[in-house]
Structure 1
Amino acid sequence: MATATASRSSQGKVTVGDTSKKKTKEVTADGFSTKSLMKNAKVTEPPAAGAFKKRPAKPTAFRKFYERGDFPIALEHDTKGNKIAWKVEIEKLDYHHYLPLFFDGLCETTHPYEFFARQGVHDMLEHGAAKILPAIPQLIIPIKNALNTRDHKVVCTTLKVLQHLVVSGEMVGEALVPYYRQILPILNIFKNKNLNSGDGIDYSQQKRENIGDLVQETLRAFEEYGGQDAFINIKYMIPTYESCMQS
């Protein structure tokens, strides 16, 4: 019940004041909850989805094999910088064994593992020819793991590797089409993630580290070298993709 206080003025009039009005305490509530329907409820914002948040990579088999000395490689310095010195001819390597291991190392971000994995993959793709195609099924999980880290550097490195992979041998681009469902979801997330803002200069474009641009380049390469079924499969996974082959 309301309570009232009375006071007498100098003219003898009585005034009544209501003292029952109190400030209602604000209640924090999640959206769409029963509590959010209360008049004094303050609805909290939904948490961030975290689509671009980095995911920690699991220990790689590449690191374990490197530390055991199982790879026929060494670090060589020259006037142009670091490069891999292969102790055997690359063409004679067992691609079923070594290529998936080097792809597994694409998740690495520390030296020298990151350097050896990245450069080793490109060297093997450069000289693999017909040996690459049979190893494609073994490369999908390492590729997916690298992209799923959401790490800017790792994703950029993997996209460049994918561009090299599709042109590394005959039918390789077409062999990747059945695996688009494993590869393309992450590309769909980063498709429009460009670092350009306003009139600012984005130096990442010069270093080819702009994820949005690299995704577009990779999708074009997939379509160009993936055969007649490539576009429709890309479009299914990435509805906003527009063909680069249309006149």
Structure 2
Amino acid sequence: MQQSECHGSVHLRNRGAGNCDQRTSSSMQLKHRTAIQRSKSSLSTSSLECARKLPPRPSDKLNPKTINPFGDQPRAPSAFAAVYSKGGIPCRLVHGSVKHRLQWECPPENLPFDPLLITLAEGLRETKHPYTFVSKEGFKELLLVRGAPEKAVPLLPRLIPVLKAALVHPDDEVFERGLNAVMQLSVVVGPSLNDHLKHLLTSLAKRLIYKKFKEPITTALQKLEQHGGSGSLIVIKSKIPTYCSICC
């Protein structure tokens, strides 16, 4: 009986010692892992600090980690946006409950067309508000003032390339604004536009193959013929042979 109790007490002491050893081993392993993690953290922190202290290298600009070649890159403002932001367009947009309108700083008939009319024509290629509205309405209203023909005709050699740029723009709304501007200009300058028509008609002929543009382009050609006379019809037929004259 005494031997049994002795063996039992020895067994309990051995189990206790084993548990103690296991706890000690687990504690040592935990401390070891913690020390490793702290070491890695300190190394990472020191590496970051070193990287921050290093001066930028020219090659860093090409590093894909700092520049995403497929992301949206900041673009410089367009010529019209730059002029507008500096107050170079003498009108401002007035927001209305039904529709917007322009408020001119002075009567438009007192404003010089050079370079204002050309600047507004450049704005027709804009795709953001309020540039789209200001350029479209400003161009139209400026051509309605008294004495507009005398002021606009001398600018045609510089104005036509700008309007052509709007007509070849991939954005459909930009094209439509350019097309309307050409019709508005035709009403004002009349046959004076005939010498420049060939530069515009090439762009119209390319869009004419699309069904959605057939009606607005046909209307524009009719306006050009109406205000340009027989001389305009000759130019139109040379570039767009399928056009039917309004006189037919």
Q: Could you tell me the TM-score, scaled by structure 1's length?
A: 0.65
Partner-residue secondary structure (3-state), 2:234: helix
RMSD: 1.7
**Could you tell which deviates more after superposition, 82-91 or 224-233?**
224-233
Supply the distance in 2 between the matched residues of 1:73 and 1:129 (Cα, whole angstroms): 21
On the 8 A contact 1:160/1:214 being kept in 2, the answer is no
Supply the distance in 2 between the matched residues of 1:79 and 1:123 (Cα, whole angstroms): 21
On the 8 A contact 1:176/1:226 being kept in 2, the answer is yes
* Cα offsets for 1:93-140 (capped at 9, x unmatched): 110210011001110011111111011111111113432222222211
Amino acid at match of 2:235: N
Of 194, 197, 204 in structure 2, the residue corresponding to residue 180 of structure 1 is 197
Partner-residue secondary structure (3-state), 2:144: helix
- 2:217 maps to 1:212: no
Q: Report deviation, 1:152.
A: 0.8
Partner-residue secondary structure (3-state), 1:78: coil
Supply the distance in 2 between the matched residues of 1:80 and 1:132 (Cα, whole angstroms): 32
Q: Report deviation, 1:59.
A: 5.9
- 2:153 maps to 1:136: no
Supply the distance in 1 between the matched residues of 2:190 and 2:149 (Cα, whole angstroms): 13
* Cα offsets for 1:140-180 (capped at 9, x unmatched): 11101111113211111111121121112xxx121111112
Supply the distance in 2 between the matched residues of 1:86 and 1:72 (Cα, whole angstroms): 6
Other-structure match for 1:229: 231
- 2:170 maps to 1:166: no
On the 8 A contact 1:163/1:218 being kept in 2, the answer is yes
Amino acid at match of 1:103: A
On the 8 A contact 1:224/1:245 being kept in 2, the answer is no
- 2:155 maps to 1:155: no
Supply the distance in 1 between the matched residues of 2:154 and 2:165 (Cα, whole angstroms): 20
Supply the distance in 2 between the matched residues of 1:80 and 1:69 (Cα, whole angstroms): 26
- 2:133 maps to 1:112: no
- The answer for unaligned runs of 5 or more in structure 2 is 1-75
On the 8 A contact 1:174/1:225 being kept in 2, the answer is yes
Give the structure with the higher percent strand. Answer: 1
Partner-residue secondary structure (3-state), 2:93: strand
Between the two proteins, what is the percent identity of the paired residues?
30
Supply the distance in 1 between the matched residues of 2:99 and 2:226 (Cα, whole angstroms): 33
Q: Report deviation, 1:229.
A: 1.4
Of 66, 80, 96 in structure 1, the residue corresponding to residue 98 of structure 2 is 80
Other-structure match for 1:91: 109
Other-structure match for 2:60: none
Amino acid at match of 1:136: L
Q: Could you tell me the TM-score, scaled by structure 2's length?
A: 0.65
Supply the distance in 2 between the matched residues of 1:59 and 1:137 (Cα, whole angstroms): 25
Supply the distance in 2 between the matched residues of 1:244 and 1:119 (Cα, whole angstroms): 28
* Closer, same or farther: CA 60–174 of 1 in aligned 2, 3 Å: farther
Structure showing greater relative contact order (alpha-carbon pairs closer than 8 Å, 6 or more residues apart) = 1
- The answer for unaligned runs of 5 or more in structure 1 is 1-57, 196-210
Other-structure match for 1:101: 119
On the 8 A contact 1:177/1:230 being kept in 2, the answer is yes
